[in-house]
Structure 1
Amino acid sequence: MPSLGDLIAPRRMGRDFRWLLASSWTSNVGDGVALAAAPLLIASMTSSPILVASGAILQFLPWLVFGLHAGAIADRFDRRRLVMFANAARAIVLAALCVFLITGTANIWIVLAVAFLYGTAEVFVDTAGSTLLPMIVKPADLGIGNARLQAGYLVANQFAGPPLGAFLFAAGTAWPFLIEVLCVTLAIVLVSRMARTPVPPREEHAPVHTDIAQGLRWLWRNPPVRTLVLIILVFNVTWAAPWGVLVLYATEHLNMGAVGYGALTTASAAGGLLATMSFGWLEKRVSFATLMRACLSLEVLMHLAFALTSTGWVALAIMAVFGFYAFIWGTISTTVRQRLVPTELQGRIASVNMVGVFGGMVLGQALGGVIAQFWGLTAPWWFAFVGAAITLLLVWRPISHIVSAKPALDDAAEDPQPDPVA
């Protein structure tokens, strides 16, 4: 009978996968603590929905500024070391925030500046980190590998971290961020145990903008991956509109308080854990296309349900369903993209995808803050419901073409797949 360790990280996936998994899970504990603590810190300094949403916007804005460059850099250097250096930068920024909080000199503008600097370092961590899994496991194991990484994200970042972050914030504003510094530092040590990753082949002395242009050309000429990136972009706009003011929605509209706000994220993680246990069964019995359509349909219904409810326990139930389908969608969309993109382009295409994710979140949260300011805290949910429903109708058919596309060869840019929209 296999051990628990073998069930979590099968031996066939190798030693490096276990170090990557341990590093990712550890980092996510710290990030989960800050997930609840950071919005609470901002909300304790201002009641303006626009400034509250600005905290998340400034953390994600670096993707629009540095995202494409981060992808090109990840395709030039040892990706493992890049993750280590960028995580070190995150730890330094968080340590500085702790000093401001302990000395009582922190204010809303310092916190917003920290959010931007932290987000800048995270751009390089996430871009380089997303390229490591395809380099150390076989394509057939990408699904289970992504599921395990997502499981750690759910348990640590979404389930355990936020309640702990809310509790630590109540004990002292600096405590959650001190814990995050420790977690990020330990994550650096763990990922350093991986074998050095090979530097992807590239044209010598080519400027960064040339590498970026090459990645964009490949994406434009590969309709399945291009369409997947566009779907993620649009759905993140609609998703982020209400999420940017979720802390106000939970504490003021639902009257759940700070701990109740953290419980929403915990409920989402509980749904995700159920999805973790179900993913292997679903992957074998239900097509990826069917699963993707089901997830996007549930997204539409989730927005409608939040717009209509004013009860805390109903919101918790909705969040549990959200956690279930969000885990399935995230695992499938990442796996499909990684299977279709050549190794030497993983960094650049991942960065374009992430620019779409966070660009959509920046736009969505900006819209959500303004909508909530003028029309109330449920108005962003109505905006999200209508926008997501229209988008789902447009992408229903192309999803089949995305899932059935063949993996790209090295010369895939010269031999693109048929356009799924055609």
Structure 2
Amino acid sequence: MSSLGIGFNRLWAASLTGNLADGLLRTAAPLLAVSLTTDPVLISLLGAIVMLPWLFFAIPVGGIVDRVDRRKAIAISNAARFLVAAGVAVIVSLDAMTIELLFLGAFIIGICEVVADTAAQAMVPQILDKSQYESGNSRLQMSETVVSQFVGAPASGFLYAAAIFLPFAATALGFIVAAVLVLLIPRNYQRDLSQVSIKSDEKFLTSLSFGLKYLYQDKKLFRLVLTTTAIGFAYSASSAVVALFMIEDLGVAPMYFGVVLTVQGVGALLGAATTTYWTKRFGRSDVLAITILLTSVNVFVTGLSSNILVFAAITSITGYLISIWNILLMSTYQDLIPNELFGRIHGARRTLVWGMMPLGSILGGFIARIDLAAPFLVGGIAATVVALLNYRFITTLVKKP
């Protein structure tokens, strides 16, 4: 595996630590929610609240990211996540946690995630050449899968079983370490910021509206965003109560919830490792089209799982496919969006794509009141229809050599 330079390697190290904290939190938070309520709608609200900041803050954050040192933006957001996770750990240890307090913590964590993710993804084109995008994104995806699902998820389940506050305390530690690591990226990585096309006298609100206008005027980019928005809405609905489905319908003990996520991560890791192979053989656009179609079909099949072994096998395949899709989709965006405009346009894109996910999650919660498997069936059908309708368009995203 060839080196991509000191700037990327340090970003990667910070990503590893932050992803470990994410893995701990994403396993422990749903378990804590299920211990506080078994109402599918309330459970779905947890996921919705985490995503809601993308609807409210993605565009202004994108404008900020194009104006500030992106290292500091990531560091500050991780430091804030440290404070929230530490606060949750203390409240849980005092046996004073309520579902409302958990929602509040999730919302603040979500705001910080908007900042950290937008800044980190905007940094990749600053650090790497275009020819390195897929390799860099693959490594970031692999690191996310390895430490989040292979280390963070199972560790969180066992820590939760030992003492409920422990995974939240460990999460806090991970975020503060990530904040320090990202500041070690050399400042001279910012070779493109001198070319940022924001006039010094340009009003901030004007720069924000620019992202939406640019997105709308670029018809290829706009259609891609609308397609991923619809599919993301369906996926969010399908996974709204996955923790409750696994515990109530499939009989998974909370201690082993993270272990199941680890099994799913095997597929995601293999997907990240083989992405470059598939694109070299078939081309990025064709691989994008087939992976999102197969993923959507697989979401529907997940709802037919008769036991946890079948569920784990199906979701591992889903993990493999969606990992490839995510890597290639981000590489495509980094190709289509000029780096000096990336923060604002990426923020506008995320507002649409991720801003609709909370609504999908809430819808999934209401569907789950009928049956806990129903969100997978309904969401899978909806996503498959969207993928089929846009299949030919996706195959034309990148010109074949």
Relative to the length of structure 2, the TM-score reads 0.95
Q: State the distance in 2 between where 1:300 and 1:188 align.
A: 36
Superposed, which structure 2 residues align to 1:351-370 within 5 Å?
351-370=347-366
Aligned to 2:398: 403
* Cα-to-partner distance string for 1:384-417 (whole Å, 9 max, x where unaligned): 12211221222011113322399xxxxxxxxxxx
Aligned to 2:319: 323
Is 1:209 matched with 2:205? yes
* Cα-to-partner distance string for 1:245-297 (whole Å, 9 max, x where unaligned): 00111111111222443233212210012123322322211211221121122
Superposed, which structure 2 residues align to 1:10-89 within 5 Å?
10-11=2-3, 13-89=4-80
Q: State the distance in 1 between where 2:353 and 2:204 align.
A: 22
How much does 1:70 deviate? 0.5
Aligned to 1:314: 310
Amino acid at match of 1:38: A
How much does 1:369 deviate? 0.3
Report if aligned partners of 1:275, 1:324 keep a CA contact under 8 Å in 2.
yes
Report if aligned partners of 1:242, 1:380 keep a CA contact under 8 Å in 2.
yes
Aligned to 1:371: 367
Q: State the distance in 1 between where 2:152 and 2:248 align.
A: 23
Amino acid at match of 1:263: V
Aligned to 1:410: none
How much does 1:233 deviate? 0.8
Q: 2:299 aligns with which of 282, 292, 303?
A: 303
Q: CA 1:305–1:138 in 2, change beyond 3 Å: closer, same or farther? A: same
* Cα-to-partner distance string for 1:98-124 (whole Å, 9 max, x where unaligned): 221122222111111111111111111
* Cα-to-partner distance string for 1:276-334 (whole Å, 9 max, x where unaligned): 33223222112112211211221222122112222111111001101111110000000
- Between 177-186 and 276-285, the greater mean CA deviation after superposition: 276-285
Q: State the distance in 1 between where 2:158 and 2:118 align.
A: 31
Amino acid at match of 1:245: V
Report if aligned partners of 2:267, 2:318 keep a CA contact under 8 Å in 1.
yes
Is 1:183 matched with 2:178? no
Amino acid at match of 2:379: A
Amino acid at match of 2:374: A
Report if aligned partners of 2:215, 2:349 keep a CA contact under 8 Å in 1.
no
Q: 1:114 aligns with which of 102, 105, 111?
A: 105
Amino acid at match of 1:400: T
Aligned to 1:394: 389
Specify the SS of the correspondent of 1:292. helix
Is 1:341 matched with 2:332? no
Is 1:235 matched with 2:226? no
* Identity within the alignment, %: 32
* Aligned length, in residue pairs: 396
Q: State the distance in 1 between where 2:291 and 2:359 align.
A: 22
Q: State the distance in 2 between where 1:214 and 1:108 align.
A: 38
Aligned to 2:290: 294
Amino acid at match of 1:350: H
Q: State the distance in 2 between where 1:247 and 1:338 align.
A: 33
Aligned to 1:420: none
- Between 135-144 and 266-275, the greater mean CA deviation after superposition: 266-275
Report if aligned partners of 1:159, 1:269 keep a CA contact under 8 Å in 2.
yes
Q: 1:159 aligns with which of 127, 150, 156?
A: 150
Report if aligned partners of 2:267, 2:320 keep a CA contact under 8 Å in 1.
yes
Q: Which runs of 4+ in 1 moved over 4 A?
A: none
Q: 1:254 aligns with which of 244, 250, 255?
A: 250
Aligned to 1:96: 87
Q: State the distance in 2 between where 1:287 and 1:66 align.
A: 35
* Cα-to-partner distance string for 1:71-103 (whole Å, 9 max, x where unaligned): 010011111111111111111111111221122
Aligned to 1:284: 280
Report if aligned partners of 1:242, 1:368 keep a CA contact under 8 Å in 2.
yes
Q: State the distance in 2 between where 1:336 and 1:390 align.
A: 22
Aligned to 1:415: none
Report if aligned partners of 1:168, 1:175 keep a CA contact under 8 Å in 2.
yes
Report if aligned partners of 2:73, 2:115 keep a CA contact under 8 Å in 1.
yes
Report if aligned partners of 2:300, 2:378 keep a CA contact under 8 Å in 1.
no
> RMSD in angstroms over aligned alpha carbons?
1.6
Report if aligned partners of 2:272, 2:327 keep a CA contact under 8 Å in 1.
no
Amino acid at match of 1:347: G
Report if aligned partners of 1:162, 1:265 keep a CA contact under 8 Å in 2.
yes
* Cα-to-partner distance string for 1:191-233 (whole Å, 9 max, x where unaligned): 1111223463411232222111111111111122212211211
Aligned to 2:136: 145
Specify the SS of the correspondent of 1:335. helix
Q: State the distance in 1 between where 2:400 and 2:279 align.
A: 17
Amino acid at match of 2:321: Y
Specify the SS of the correspondent of 1:256. coil
Report if aligned partners of 1:53, 1:245 keep a CA contact under 8 Å in 2.
yes
Report if aligned partners of 1:267, 1:323 keep a CA contact under 8 Å in 2.
no
Q: State the distance in 1 between where 2:246 and 2:155 align.
A: 18
Q: CA 1:121–1:277 in 2, change beyond 3 Å: closer, same or farther? A: closer
Amino acid at match of 1:19: R
Specify the SS of the correspondent of 1:116. helix
How much does 1:340 deviate? 1.2
Q: State the distance in 1 between where 2:260 and 2:382 align.
A: 23
Aligned to 1:129: 120
Q: CA 1:20–1:401 in 2, change beyond 3 Å: closer, same or farther? A: same
Specify the SS of the correspondent of 1:273. helix
Relative to the length of structure 1, the TM-score reads 0.91
How much does 1:151 deviate? 0.4
Q: State the distance in 1 between where 2:314 and 2:122 align.
A: 33
Q: 1:272 aligns with which of 268, 274, 278?
A: 268
Segments of structure 2 that go 5 or more residues without pairing to the other structure are none
